[in-house]
A and B are shown apart, each in its own frame.
Chain A
């Protein structure tokens, strides 16, 4: 059966990139879901631009009455839960953590990525305006930048392209992109197709990807 992965499944695959002790910053959208799938017992510390490190999961509607607090939110404005050992700091310190190279993994949404590893994700398509937010600093300064996205837009437009057609967030920053049909690594010779969704062929993924894909010798089915 050829199916596309759900947003949750994309997040689940990205969660496998986390490791014990990792400092992780998650963007808005699919990236936020990643924290739900990190294996229990693994110590991953989350950073948010608005000045917190080591907070817990986004609170559920059931927990709202008991836990929601406007003074404990993530970068998307969602209420998150407190954890022992978390700490708060102001924005300049928060971006010292980012610019100082302390973020191990940042997971960002994608509008377009190029074969050179350029990322474009801040300009709203069709609106002529956009929000840069903290994404540019994260893309420039994190140790690893992982993209989380559907492989093509809703109208079928390609997102993995030879050259980005919209303003860049950062050039040459991408490490890996996890889509609803593939896991692709950005390397010096080009894009390496590492994993493929169940039921999909290399040719089918290539058809939806503008640059020529290098097929990994150990190409696997995406495991969650």
Chain B
């Protein structure tokens, strides 16, 4: 019998997440590609002492007025955050995370963005560590092994994995194969590969065979649960006159 990956509600999809879990979530500067509904369901669920791995720590002031993982910091559910851009760009509007980090209530591991991406990619690919030049001669090199290759110094960086990944994609089929839309893709496909349980929040779920196998970005093997967004959050989008391949890679 085929495994049914489709979950009816966001609440159900996150219900088993325990206190102390490490969670990766897709996120960048704008609202595109953030699994808002999974984050909000986790907030309701109440798990605490979380480690969040994401580009930002939420509420950085560039997104529309919509609840992202900022709410997990506000309600003090986060113990540690691994991020590249954790702070608001406006000193007048410090994010919830900034106040907690400065007060020492949340631990921050600040990582260059390419290093974060590669650490996640390595985690998903079973590679424990890798060398990168980024950060040599800066605060990033503190405590890290340094080694020269071809006359250039590199730092040893370790892979990241997570208990759960919350990813935002455009369409899923019943197998969990995912396609993305535009810059929504960002960290989502690599996070999907680096977690024990990956939960995808999507606009549409289609039957097996309805996504062109050549267009699949995240193979379904990496996706364990799929939940469809049922309300319209009112973000500007033009799904009908797309900027990408007509009908979003599906046929």
Contacts and interface: CB of A to CB of B under 8 A. Distances in A.
Are A and B bound to each other?
Answer: yes
A169 B134 CA distance: 9
Given A82-B243, A89-B185, A127 B138 contact: no
A116 to B, nearest CB: 11
Interface in B82-104: 84-87, 89, 91, 98, 101-102
A182 interface: no
Given A69-B182, A71-B182, A140-B133, A77 B114 contact: no
A140 B107 CA distance: 27
A82 B182 CA distance: 10
Given A89-B185, A92-B190, A127-B91, A141 B133 contact: yes
B112 A70 contact: no
B177 interface: no
Which of B33, B101, B182, B237 has the largest count of A CB atoms less than 10 A from its CB? Answer: B182
Contacts of B101: 129
B180 interface: yes
Nearest to B184: A71
Contact of A99 (B89, B132, B139, B180): B132
- Best-surrounded residue of A74, A98, A132, A141 (most CB of chain B within 10 A): A132
Interface string A132-165: 1110110011000000000000000000000000
A88 interface: yes
Interface in A7-58: 28, 48-52
B32 A95 contact: no
B98 A129 contact: yes
A77 B237 contact: no
Nearest to A173: B137
B33 A71 contact: yes
Contact of A70 (B30, B114, B190): B30
B117 interface: yes
Contacts of B138: 136, 167-171
A217 B28 CA distance: 46
Contacts of A48: 183
A179 interface: no
Interface string A107-133: 000000000000000001011111111
B229 interface: no
Contacts of B185: 51, 88-90
Contact of B31 (A52, A70, A76, A170): A70
Interface in A85-113: 86, 88-92, 94-95, 98-99
Given A130-B87, A168-B138, A171-B137, A73 B32 contact: yes
B32 A167 contact: no
Contacts of B243: 69, 72, 82, 86
A72 to B, nearest CB: 5
Contact of A52 (B86, B87, B182, B217): B182
B123 to A, nearest CB: 11
Contacts of B236: 64, 68-70, 79
B188 interface: yes
Contacts of B86: 129, 131
Contacts of A50: 28-29, 33, 183, 186
A132 B136 CA distance: 14
Contact of B120 (A72, A79, A92): A92
Contacts of B186: 50-51, 90-91, 94
A130 B111 CA distance: 11
B63 A77 contact: yes
Contacts of B102: 128-129
B183 A134 contact: no
A99 B134 contact: yes
8 contacts: A74-B29, A76-B62, A77-B29, A88-B185, A95-B114, A99-B132, A140-B133, A168-B139
Interface of A: 28, 48-52, 64, 67-79, 82, 86, 88-92, 94-95, 98-99, 124, 126-134, 136-137, 140-141, 167-172
Which 7 residue pairs are nearest across A and B when measured between Cβ atoms? A77-B29, A95-B114, A82-B243, A71-B182, A137-B114, A77-B62, A77-B30
